[in-house]
Amino acid sequence: MYDVCFFTAEEEAHHDNPLEHCQEMYSRACRQYNVHPVAYFYNALRNDKCVLRHRQMTSDSVKALAVALVGNSSLETLDLGDNDMGPKGAEYIADMLRENNFVKHINMEFNNLGIHGVKHLVDLIKQQDSVTSLNISGNGLRECDAEVIRPLIEDTLNLKHLSLAHNQLREAGGEVIGEALVWNDTMETLDLSWNHLRRDGAVFVADGLAENTCLKKLNLAWNGFYLDGCKALARALEENKTLIELDLTCNRISKECLEKLTGGLRKNSTLEILRLGWNPITPAGAMMLLQFIKDTKNLAIKELDLTDQLVEPAFIALLGELEVMREIKVVYGQVLGQDKRGDDDDEKQLMDENPIIVLMEFGKLMGFRLMDLFAALDKDGSKSLDHEEIRNGLRMVNIPLSDKCIEMLINKLDVDGDGEIDFGELMAAQTEHRKKMSKFYAAQEGDVDIEDTEIGRVRIKLSRLMAKKMSGNPAFKRQSKLLLEQMGLLDPSLPPPT
């Protein structure tokens, strides 16, 4: 497989622990290929998960990783997203997988693989059929490449989760995917978001869903299903008995499209989550949909996402009636004729500031360090946090922001949009924060108004928000301090929560 032998038989005999052997293999491979070893990967060779993203790896760097993984039996999840490894890197990973059947979950998104790199992985997975989760999003796949990826859907039994998002499958690619879905009876989740699926491409995907008997989650967000696609989806929802979640975010779905879609939903009793945010549904369409859910007793829908959709006060009243009748969560936008829910002038202005500055200054006001909070939330030791982990953590420490603003803050933190915030990014931001603190101290000592400094502006707005929060809840300060103590986050070098 590789062009070098690292150990003699005598040397191998000295490695009683096979994981130590893998680590030594990696060290020697790095020397052989003249690449810098990654300490995190070296340590991860003893774990069941490795997340190694945003490294801009050369093909030799990937080759060294692959050499170490050939004999590894502990690692099950390998996330190498956004490393720009190219087709050659994919070839090395495929060669490794030919010898290693223990790696089950593979993320190769945004790696500039192209069809040649993807083909190495497809051929291997089709032959071995041991991988259960594959992400090849954002790798430049075009509609003419769809035939190459068809076997991932048609010819595998163990591949349960597949992401093809952020490619350009378009109409011809949608036709191939739709045909393949008819023959698959094991895949559970499929992500086709951001693929320019429209017209015949959208219709073929929907037709495939109609005959599919296994998919539980289908992500079609940020395509162009529009009227023809919704008509086809309505037919599919009449027939399909397994789909639990359908994401149609930003698909040019109007009120007319929605009327077609509900025709199929009327005969569906399995779909629990429907996402329709950022579509031109109109307030009347939102009202019509909610009334439909209320009147249709056999529906299983428990969550309806209408993110950013303007609604009328009557919608809120109807939602209250519906919540009494059944358990349901509905997300929506501004209420017509009312101020934005939970908005505050200081809060809105904070959203224009650097999110790291906002969080670091909030930590100072509460008596903890931001890095300590992130470390406490990083339960799996991956040195990164996803949106849900950060969202829960900020709520736990009582950040005085509405859910909507917390979401905006997290999205701004996630600069590359990969769904995770890495500790490395935080460290860089911390350095930038120190520079801004120097300007703040200089302003305090000089004649400059502190409101003209970024730190000063954020502190003033946060302090006002905290004061409002405490005035509305006398127990806020005590509860916050107790939570921080329980999490071990209170820093004695910082002032106590004010």
> Residue 45: its pLDDT value, please?
94
Is residue 390 scored above 90 in pLDDT? no
Exposure letters 253-267 (e unless 16+ CB within 10 A, then b): bbbebbbbbbbbbee
Domains of the chain (ranges, CATH numbers)? 141-331 (3.80.10.10), 345-487 (1.10.238.10)
Tokens 């999490």 belong to which residue?
487
Beta-strand ranges (E) seen in 399-461 are: 420-422
pTM: 0.69
Which residues, including other chains, have CB under 8 Å from residue 265's CB and lie 6 or more apart? 234, 237, 271, 274, 292, 296, 299, 301
CA distance 284 to 492: 55
Summarised one tens digit per residue, pLDDT across range 163-212 is: 999 999 999 999 999 999 999 999 999 999 999 999 999 999 999 999 99
User: Is the pLDDT score of 319 beyond 90?
Assistant: yes
Q: Give 473 or 69, the one with higher predicted confidence.
A: 69
Above 70 in pLDDT, residue 98? yes
8 A C-beta contact, residue 422 and residue 53 = yes
Residue pair 215/188 in contact (Cβ under 8 Å)? The answer is yes
What pLDDT, on a 0 to 100 scale, did the predictor assign at position 362?
78
What does DSSP say about strands 384-386 and 420-422: parallel, antiparallel, or unpaired? antiparallel
Q: What are the structure tokens assigned to 458, written together?
A: 């954020």
- Over residues 300-326, mean pLDDT: 94
Nearest to 417 by CA among 110, 114, 142, 196: 110
In 106-198, alpha helices (H): 114-128, 146-154, 170-183
**Alpha-carbon gap, residue 218 to 175, rounded angstroms:** 16
| pLDDT over 80 (residue 27) | yes
Using alpha carbons only, how large is the chain's radius of gyration in Å?
26
356 pLDDT more than 60: yes
Q: What is the pLDDT of residue 409?
A: 78
DSSP annotation of 144 reads G
Q: Which amino acid would we find at residue 65?
A: L
Residue 373 has pLDDT above 80, yes or no: no
CB atoms within 10 A of CB 77: 18
pLDDT band per the 50, 70, 90 thresholds, residue 275: very high
Q: What are phi and psi of 384, to 5 degrees?
A: -155, 155
Segment 399-410 mean pLDDT: 77
Does the pLDDT of residue 66 top 70, yes or no? yes
Say how far apart CA 295 and CA 435 lie, in whole Å: 59
> What's the mean pLDDT when you consider all of the chain?
85
* pLDDT at residue 32, as a whole number: 96
Nearest to 277 by CA among 253, 301, 308, 320: 308
pLDDT tens for each residue of 457-492:
877 777 777 766 655 454 445 544 544 454 454 445
Q: Please return the burial class of 94, using the count of CB atoms within 10 Å of its CB with bins 0-12, 13-18 and 19+.
A: buried
pLDDT value at position 144?
A: 95
